[in-house]
Amino acid sequence: MKIDLQTAAARLREMDDILLLTHRNPDGDAAGSLWALYRLLTKLGKRVKFQLVGKVPENLLFAAECEAEDFEEKFIVAVDLAEATLLGEALQPVYGEKIDLNIDHHGSNTFFAKETFLDAKAAAAAQLVYSLYEEMNVPIDVRSAEQLYIGLSTDTGCFRYGNTNSEALHTAAELVGIGIDNGDINRRIFETKSKAYIQFEALAMSNLRMHFDGKCAVMALTKDMFTRTGLDESETHMIAGLPRQVEGVLVGATIKEKDNGLCRVSLRSNEPVDVSAIAKTFGGGGHKLAAGCDLYGTVSKATADLLKEIEAALHSYNLL
Ligand SMILES: [Mn+2]
């Protein structure tokens, strides 16, 4: 059931012994929102714990929270979680059908939780957590402000993407006003790359292939490239945006080779193409301009399957 901000705030007020979850391989919005929510609930005197599946990107760890205690949860809250499968293989069977409240901003949300506080216009889940702080009258300290800023800035590409609405900029202004060092955070998150990343990016760029009159760019990221450079999984999210950067490209895709014949696809588009629709045909989802899905088979088979759908999508917009 869909609920509003006031109901979500009321629910959090009345419940205790809360477990927080988010999607596997947490990005800045997932981790930042979860930490900020942890802090909010702790300040209200509640027992809270959380589980993060996969590595949080290292450059976000300066704002991480440490759990204080373990206990048996009575209420489960998810944040930034579009669908239960994104909990990951380990957690989905355990918690997939037990989420009491989901706080999310994905238009593709499947409403798997008992109650969902969804605002698909929000630039980040962190925006919704910020509104909960306001609604519940909990002061935002510098650490919470940093966590919310991490969520907001990463989901908007440092306030460059089209989802950067006036609300996001207002919230960022408030957070800067609280005293965060936004210049330093931006440098940590958006300007600093590991040597392994730079090497990986060079290899990935040499794998970039153009299709459909230059309207589509696809990049294969093979296991061999990870082995050769030692790139950490958590740094690969930056690669996903590269194909779309090529002039004239409307759909950019990265195809990441995983174990057991699984290929993880990230899609990025420019207007008017809706890549969440393409992802959906493969059982995935996401936002209009940023989505993802899993394909099975070799990288070349996954590429061929994906290109067919991209071609059909470009046709449907009369772009081919
Ligand atoms: Mn998000």
Q: What CATH code is assigned to 195-316?
A: 3.10.310.30
Phi-psi region of 119 (alpha: psi -120 to 50; beta: other; left: phi over 0): beta
CA distances from 12 to 1, 24, 40, 129, 206 (A): 16, 23, 10, 12, 49
Ligand 1 mean position to 21 CA, how many Å? 13
Ligand 1 mean position to 124 CA, how many Å? 5
Q: Do domains 5-190 and 195-316 have the same CATH topology?
A: no
Ligand 1 mean position to 87 CA, how many Å? 14
Ligand 1 mean position to 320 CA, how many Å? 32
Q: What pLDDT shows up at residue 236?
A: 82
pLDDT at residue 15 greater than cutoff 90: yes
Q: What pLDDT shows up at residue 108?
A: 86
Looking at the DSSP assignment, which residues form a beta bridge with residue 303?
none
Ligand 1 mean position to 79 CA, how many Å? 9
Ligand 1 mean position to 126 CA, how many Å? 7
pLDDT band at residue 74 under the 50/70/90 scheme: very high
DSSP states of 53-87 as a string? -SPPPGGGGGG----------SEEEEES-SSGGGG
pLDDT at residue 67 greater than cutoff 90: no
pLDDT at residue 219 greater than cutoff 90: yes
Q: Using alpha carbons, select from 319, 306, 221 the residue that is nearest to residue 271.
A: 319
Strand order across the beta sheet in which 75-79 lies:
48-51, 18-21, 75-79, 101-104, 115-118
Domain ranges for the chain, please list them: 5-190, 195-316
Ligand 1 mean position to 33 CA, how many Å? 9
Ligand 1 mean position to 228 CA, how many Å? 31
Ligand 1 mean position to 23 CA, how many Å? 10
Ligand 1 mean position to 138 CA, how many Å? 22
Ligand 1 mean position to 106 CA, how many Å? 7
Ligand 1 mean position to 156 CA, how many Å? 9
Q: What pLDDT shows up at residue 129?
A: 98
Peptide bond into 139 cis (omega under 30): no
Q: DSSP class of residue 100?
A: S
Helices 125-135 & 166-178 angle (0-180, nearest 10): 60
Ligand 1 mean position to 277 CA, how many Å? 18
Ligand 1 mean position to 142 CA, how many Å? 21
What do you get for the CA distance between the two ends of the chain, in Å?
A: 41
Ligand 1 mean position to 151 CA, how many Å? 7
Ligand 1 mean position to 214 CA, how many Å? 29
The CA-based angle 210-212-218, given to 5 degrees, is 35
Place of tokens 């990049």: 219
Looking at the DSSP assignment, which residues form a beta bridge with residue 21?
51, 78
Share of the chain above pLDDT 90, in %: 93
pLDDT at residue 68 greater than cutoff 80: no
CATH entry, 5-190, from 3.90.1640.10, 3.30.360.10, 3.40.50.2020, 1.10.275.10: 3.90.1640.10
Ligand 1 mean position to 155 CA, how many Å? 6
The predicted model scores a pTM of 0.84
pLDDT digits (tens, 9 = 90+) for 79-105: 999 999 999 999 999 999 999 999 999
Q: What pLDDT shows up at residue 136?
A: 98
pLDDT digits (tens, 9 = 90+) for 252-306: 999 999 999 999 999 999 999 999 999 999 999 888 999 999 999 999 999 999 9
Place of tokens 């009491």: 100
pLDDT digits (tens, 9 = 90+) for 134-153: 999 999 999 999 999 999 99
pLDDT digits (tens, 9 = 90+) for 37-59: 999 999 999 999 999 999 999 89
Q: What pLDDT shows up at residue 238?
A: 83
Ligand 1 mean position to 83 CA, how many Å? 12
pLDDT at residue 195 greater than cutoff 80: yes
Contact of 87 with 81, CB cutoff 8 Å: yes
